[in-house]
Copies of this chain bind each other. A is one copy, B any other.
């Protein structure tokens, strides 16, 4: 594209205009849009699969693994899943206009804190094509215009899905630019857009840590970041043995490639002898390699030595690091040092230990006697999520509709002036 800067500027300006127009769109219209888009996706299954075939055919030229090609592939059942997800977002409560709090001041002023959209969201993703529909649905339901930038491997699929979202928008009275797709695969387009804070209010990159670091370094607007999920399970000295085994196995093994899976097991020395052999056996039966400190290896001869780097690693696969500690304090310090502030769990029967752990561990979610796998928008009751933030600013943990909004103060008076 020769005129890339103008193309990006035009995209951004259209989005800003659409975001202003969205303030006149009702919640009902947004629901109609989502349901209409869902129906169109289903009706156009054949055309979507055809567009997707172009991506699947080209996939080997991008060096995609078989597993990645499988994730890329659309079929009627996956398309029905996308449509169902849109219906679910439609059914979530309307976030815009919610009065978050209100008070009447002594001088009679009524001060309301009202939920409002952020404005324009730039969403960058590397994932499966269904993310195109999911992300657009959440951003626009929260009243924002969205600029989508998908991976080059899914360019035909994403274009087909975005076209359907736009068509449904036109049919239901939403501004057609509420959802726009960056149509060039030129990477420079991302940098141009990241330098437009006057048009774009928030950027959400979803993908590997490299993408997120690159985007954060370039962006001139706020970025909701999801770095690593190096999640810990700590077995306190009062841990129930059965519960400890069940939670460790669930946290590590139920789904290994996700951010809220456990990567590290910390065990109080008083229960190491009782717990580590049985948990080590259970992990071994599931093909998990254990990398431990010296005390771990004394109890688990099959364990390999753990390096400092192991304790800092998000494996996303069949390896777990393990450490025996002398105290709850040491466990907390280890977790705060090596963790990624994502999700940690304690297994304990001791009230004081639970309170110490929850108050001093500095992570987006801290679980007491529950699996790390529960850190998730759906599980927390937020509805669908656009990601899990490891930031402490604006949004932390699962980001649903509310995390895609801001607020304003609306003040009603009867002519009050300030003395």
Contact = CB atoms under 8 A, between A and B. Distances in A.
Interface string A376-419: 00011100000000011110111000000011111111111110
A254 B417 contact: yes
A103 B393 CA distance: 23
Contacts of A240: 415
Given A374-B109, A406-B396, A367 B415 contact: no
Nearest to A112: B358
B369 A413 contact: yes
Given A370-B416, A393-B406, A411 B365 contact: yes
Contacts of A407: 396
A286 to B, nearest CB: 14
A24 interface: yes
Nearest to A202: B393
A359 interface: yes
A130 interface: no
A157 B412 CA distance: 42
Interface string A229-245: 00000000000101100
Given A254-B417, A369-B415, A373-B417, A359 B23 contact: yes
Given A415-B246, A418-B371, A380 B111 contact: yes
B105 A379 contact: yes
B409 A397 contact: yes
Please give the count of copies of this chain that the complex contains: 2
B360 A24 contact: yes
Contact of A222 (B103, B222, B367, B375): B222
Contacts of A366: 408-411
A193 interface: no
A318 to B, nearest CB: 18
Given A103-B381, A393-B201, A408 B368 contact: no
Given A336-B20, A374-B109, A412-B369, A250 B396 contact: no
Given A381-B105, A407-B396, A416 B20 contact: no
A42 interface: no
Contacts of A251: 417
Interface residues of A, number: 65
Nearest to A197: B216
A123 B329 CA distance: 31
A82 interface: no
A176 interface: no
Contacts of A172: none
A118 interface: yes
A119 interface: yes
Interface string A4-46: 0000000000000000100110000000000000000000000
A418 B105 contact: no
Contact of A393 (B111, B116, B222, B396): B222
A364 interface: yes
Given A222-B393, A408-B364, A410-B366, A379 B417 contact: no
Given A246-B417, A250-B418, A370-B415, A375 B409 contact: yes
A267 interface: no
A363 interface: yes
B412 A370 contact: yes
A247 interface: yes
A245 B221 CA distance: 39
A250 B418 CA distance: 7
Interface in A199-258: 201-202, 222, 240, 242-243, 246-247, 249-251, 254
Chain A to chain B: the 9 pairs with minimum beta-carbon distance, closest first: A370-B413, A250-B417, A394-B394, A373-B418, A365-B409, A392-B406, A243-B415, A222-B393, A369-B413
